[in-house]
Structure 1
Amino acid sequence: MTDDLRGHRLALSRRSLLRAGGALAVGAGALGGAGALGSLLSAATAPRGVATEELRIGYLPITDAAPLLVAHGDGLYEQRRLLVGRPVLFRSWASLMEAFLTRQVDLIHLLMPSAIQLRHVVGADVRVVSWNHTGGGAITVAPHVTEVAQLAGTQVAIPGWWSIHNMLLQRVLRAHGLTPVVRRAPSRAEGTVELVVMGPADMIPALATGSISAFTVADPFNAGAVARGVGRLHMLLDEVWRDHACCVTVLHADLAESRPDTAQALVDAGVAAQLGIRADRSAAAALLSGRGYLPQPPKAVEVAMTGTADDPDGGPPRPRIDFHPYPFPSFTSELVRQMRQTVVDGEAGFLDGLDPSSVHADLVDDRFVRTAIARHGGPAALGLPASLTRHERLI
C-alpha cells in the first residue's frame, strides 16, 4: 500500500469516527480535545520501528480485560510461539478504538455494541473472535440512594453510548417509571434522568463530589467506590440480562484471513487464560494487581474477581464476573434489538437497516474459539452448554 493510499484510508477512518459523534466517544475531555486526537493519530501512523512480528494488545484497566492480561502475565502467548508486547493501557474507549482503527494495536477487548457500530457505522473490517467474559458490570449509587426512583432529577454516568451498561441501565430506569434523557436538564417532577458519558476513572471522584448520583460501569470501579465509602452497589447487571457479554475480543479481519495460525494461537491463549481464572480467581486477581495491569487498589480487584451474588432463581451464589468464551448468535441478535430501544447521543439510524439474525454472521468469526474450546476440554470445562446454543434471559 502506498503512503498516499494509507493516509487516505486513515483520514477516512478518522472522519467516520468523528461522524459517529458521541456514540463512539467517551466525551471530548477523554481525548483532551482535537490536539490530543491529532497526537494519537500521529503516534498511530508512525513506523512501528522494529522488523518483528510483535503483536500489540490494547485494553482498558477493567476486569473485562482479564483473559488478555492473564494470558500475557502467565506466558500463554509465549507458549504458543507468539511475540506479544506488554498490553497497552488506554483510559477511554474512544482512544482505544482510535488506536485499533489506525493499527497502533492489533487486538483489543471492546464493548460488543461498539463492535457492531464499528462494523456498520465506521465500516471497519473487524471480527469478534471470542467473548472475554460474562457479567462483571454493575450500577453503583451514592450512599444515600436506596431505590432507583431517587435517581429522578439527577445525572447518572455511563462509560459509552453503545455499551451494555447504558442499555441495561436504561432498561432498569424504565422498569421503575423513569425516562432517560440526553443533553437535557433532568427533572424530578417529570421523572427524567440525564445520562452523561464519563471515563471510568472519573466516575468515583464524580460520585464522591455529588456531581452524579450513580454510575454504571465494569469492575473494579464499582468495588472501588464501595471500598472508598463513596458508593453503594445497587445491583449487578447480570441480574438484568443473565450471562450477558460485555466485552469481546476483536481483531482485524485481514489478520484472521492472512494469518489464521496466529489468530488461532491468540484465541487459544485467551481460552486457556479463562480456564485458569475459573480455576483460581484469587491468583488471577493477584496477577492483575501484582503485575500492574490493573492500577486500582488490590482489594477492589480481589472483590471484583472473586465476589459472588445471590442467584435470583434460588440456585447457588453466582460469580460477580464469569468467563465463557463462546459468542452465542442468540445474544448478538437480541443485542441488536435492545440497541434499537436505547437512547444515545449520536447516530442510531444504522440500526434500522440491520437484520438482527444476520449481524452475527457478518461480525463474528467463531471458527477459532470453537477449535480452542475443543482443545481445552470441551464446552463443559468452560461452563458452556454442550449444544453451544442458549435462550436469552432478560428481566
Structure 2
Amino acid sequence: MTSDRFRIGFLPLVDAALPILAHEMGFAAREGVQIELVRDMTWATVRDRLLYGHTDAAHMIAPLAIATTLGRDRPPLPLAVPFVLGLNGNAVTFSTALAAEAGLGSALGDPTEVGAALRMIAAARKATGKPLRFGVVHRYSSHNYMLRYWLAGVGIQPDVDVEIVVTSPPFAADALAAGEVDGICVGEPWNSIAVDRGVGHIALATAQIWRRGVEKVLVTRAAVLDERRDAVEALIRALHAAAAHFVAPDSVEASADILARREYLDAPRDAVLRAITDRIRVVPGGEPLHYPDFMFQYREAANFPWRSQAAWLYSQMVRWDYMPYDRVQADAAANVFRPDIYRSALAGSGAPLPGASSKLEGGLGEPIGAGSTQGRLTLGIDRFFDGRAFDPDDIETYLADLP
C-alpha cells in the first residue's frame, strides 16, 4: 500500500487524541497514511497554517471552520469537515474567589442554580464598573457559544453584563492565577490544571449545557479534499480506528502516557488520564468525580459530521455577531460538514452510518434507535440545559425565540 503524507496542525488538548494516536499506534500506517503533527499554541495559528498550505489538515474548533468559509474576519476560503474528533470535553471554571462568592460546593453545579448565583454577582460587579470577565479560546469557538448560550439562558447578557475575552488554552490557568479573568471555558486538561494549581474551581461541564455538543473537528481546505479524496478517506478510516482504540478501557493508561508527552500536550499525566476516563476534580485537593460522557469520542456515530450541528453553530454566529440571518450563508455553513465523505470512507467497514445528514438537535430525552444505512445506530440524550430544541430547517424561528 502506498503512503500518503498529511501534516496535521493541533493544539495541546486531550481531544487532539485521535490524530496523535492514529500516528503513534499505527492506525494511519495501516491505511497507507503518514501523519506529521504540527503543534501550535493558538487557534488562529492553526487556522493560518492550514490556509496558507503549511499543513494539509487540522484539529480545529468547529465554528472556526465555518467562520473561515463564510469570510468572518478575513477573506473567505472554503474549508471542509469530513470527520468530527469529539463531542463535549470542555468545562466552565471559576476562579476560587468567584466560586466561593457563588457558593459552589465540591460537586458539579446545576446550570440553572449556578446561573442564578452568578447573575447576582455579575449585577453587583457591573455596578462597580468592574464587570466579571470570562476567557474563551477564540471568538469562533464552541466554548464561546456554549458559555454565551448558558449565560443568556440564565439571564446574564454577554457583552453587557459580563465581558468575554480570548485566552489561549495553555495559558488559561495563568490568566486565572493573574486575576486577568474571573472564569474560563476551555478544553482539558487546562481546567484540571487550573484546579490542581489551586487557582480554579470547575463549576460546570459543557456537557451539562448541551449534552452532545459538537467540539473539535478534522478540517481540510475544500480544494485538498477534492484533489486528495482517496487519501482523505484513508485518513478518516485511520482516525475512526483510533477512536475505537481511545475509548477501549484497556487503552486509557497507554493513551495518557502518549498524550502527556512533551511533544503533544506537555501536561501532567494524571490530569490527562482523568479527562480520558470522565473523572473531574472539581475543587483543589478534592477527589475526582465521575461524570459519564464528559468527553465523547466514538459511540453513537460521534464522529459523524451532522449538518444540523453546523447549522446550530451558524445560528450562534448570527446571534453573537449581531448580524441578520441569511439563508444562503446558513446553507454554506451547513455544507462545511461533509457526511457524504464520512459515509464513503467507512462504507463496508461495519461502522454505523446514519441514514440522514441532519436531525433535530436537543430533542432526545432518552436513547432511541436511529435509521442507518450500515450497522445499528443508537442516539443518546442530547438535551440543552434549558429544554430548547434546534430545528435546522427553521433557524429564523429558533433565533426569534431565544432570550
TM-score of Structure 1 vs Structure 2, range by shorter chain: 0.7 to 0.9
Distance 1:295 1:141 in 2: 23
Spell out the pairing of 1:8-27 with structure 2 (5 A cutoff): none
CA contact (8 A) 1:112 1:247 kept: yes
1:91 counterpart (41, 53, 59): 41
Secondary structure of 1:212's counterpart equals coil
Distance 1:293 1:232 in 2: 25
Secondary structure of 1:156's counterpart equals strand
Spell out the pairing of 1:310-389 with structure 2 (5 A cutoff): 317-323=291-297, 324-342=302-320, 344=321, 349=323, 352-355=325-328, 358-359=331-332, 362-379=335-352, 386-387=370-371
**What is the match of residue 6 of structure 2?**
55
Matched residue type, 2:317: M
Are residues 1:143 and 2:99 paired?
Answer: no
CA contact (8 A) 1:138 1:234 kept: yes
Aligned length: 322
**What is the match of residue 172 of structure 2?**
203
Distance 1:172 1:59 in 2: 27
Distance 1:117 1:134 in 2: 19
CA contact (8 A) 2:310 2:334 kept: no
Shift of 1:374: 4.5
CA contact (8 A) 2:23 2:34 kept: no
CA contact (8 A) 2:167 2:175 kept: no
Q: Aligned-pair RMSD on alpha carbons?
A: 2.7
Matched residue type, 1:116: I
**What is the match of residue 278 of structure 2?**
307
2:210 counterpart (217, 229, 241): 241
2:55 counterpart (102, 105, 126): 105
CA displacement, residues 63-88 of structure 1 (integer Å, 9 cap, x when unaligned): 22111111111121111112322x01
Are residues 1:161 and 2:161 paired?
Answer: no
What's the TM-score, normalizing by structure 2?
0.73
Structure 1 unaligned runs (5+)?
1-51, 182-190, 310-315
Shift of 1:367: 2.7
Shift of 1:216: 0.4
Shift of 1:358: 2.3
Shift of 1:174: 2.0
CA contact (8 A) 2:95 2:183 kept: yes
Distance 1:317 1:379 in 2: 25
CA contact (8 A) 1:282 1:306 kept: no
Matched residue type, 1:179: Q
Distance 2:215 2:228 in 1: 27
Are residues 1:278 and 2:241 paired?
Answer: no
Matched residue type, 1:88: V
CA contact (8 A) 1:130 1:327 kept: yes
Shift of 1:254: 2.2
Shift of 1:250: 0.6
Spell out the pairing of 1:147-296 with structure 2 (5 A cutoff): 147=102, 148-149=118-119, 150-151=121-122, 152=125, 153-181=131-159, 192-279=161-248, 280-290=251-261, 292-296=263-267
CA displacement, residues 57-111 of structure 1 (integer Å, 9 cap, x when unaligned): 10011122111111111121111112322x0101001111111100000010111
CA contact (8 A) 1:337 1:356 kept: no
Distance 1:112 1:256 in 2: 17
Shift of 1:385: 5.5
Secondary structure of 2:6's counterpart equals coil
Q: Which structure has greater helix proportion? A: 1
Distance 2:329 2:266 in 1: 38
CA displacement, residues 140-196 of structure 1 (integer Å, 9 cap, x when unaligned): 111132333335522111111111111111122223322221xxxxxxxxx711111
**What is the match of residue 384 of structure 2?**
394
Shift of 1:372: 4.4
